[in-house]
Amino acid sequence: MESIDSGSSTEEQRAHVAVVQDLLQPFVDAYSNYLRVVQALWAGDTYPQQAFEAYRTYMQALEEAWRKQAKQAKWVDVYSTYLQELQQIQLEPDVGRKPMDAYRNYLQDLEGLASESQQLQLQLYQTYLQSLRANLGFEDLQRGVVSAEQDYIRGLKDAWNQVDPATMDLSSIWGISQSLMAAAMLTASAREALRGRWMITSRLDAANAPG
């Protein structure tokens, strides 16, 4: 009976593992570089914090506007003027339609104040939307993600060029497929995030559109 050389078998296994690792390494490196660039893009995204700051600034401006309006007491002045006019009318011998005219004038004054308040609120809101849009950074992120994808594809082509078909087996094919699957999932995630950012951009642009 022939004896089995376990030492020789172990050496062959180690050599095979080393060959597979060498084959997979360029694919792993290409994916690692791709992952690092995409993570850096989103890690450097300051939009969430800037959006919070823009909202806080908007609310502070809105509160200040209301405070100024309350301090000016225009609503009280309009009502006081209306009451004074009614009191004056009651002293006149011929009242006629004067109370109705005074009430109509009062409503017109109120409408003017409401329109002024709405205009101010609209201006503040548009400023808020413009601030959000300016800090959105959608175009920069899109360029960065597309550039990362292109760099990965180039790295992938270089990795395939280094492959020796004679060294390919099922384990190496499985390893390459896992790397490609991870890259595909990363690409899908990045594109979905970009799609969400694009939708925000479109809505802000529509909200800021004239008319």
pLDDT for position 1: 43
Q: What is the mean pLDDT of residues 14-37?
A: 83
Q: How far apart are CA 52 and CA 43, in angstroms?
A: 17
Q: Quick check: 132 and 54 in contact, CB under 8 A?
A: yes
Beta carbons of 142 and 194 less than 8 angstroms apart? yes
Domain-by-domain residue ranges, the chain?
Answer: 26-43+137-211, 46-136
Phi, psi of 82, deg, nearest 5: -65, -45
The residue written with tokens 């080393």 in the block is 18
Per the confidence metrics, is the pTM higher than 0.75?
no
Nearest by Cα to 79 from 102, 95, 97: 102
pLDDT at 151: 92
Which tens digit of pLDDT belongs to each residue from 193-208? Answer: 888 878 877 877 777 6
What sign for the dihedral angle of Cα 58, 63, 64, 68? positive
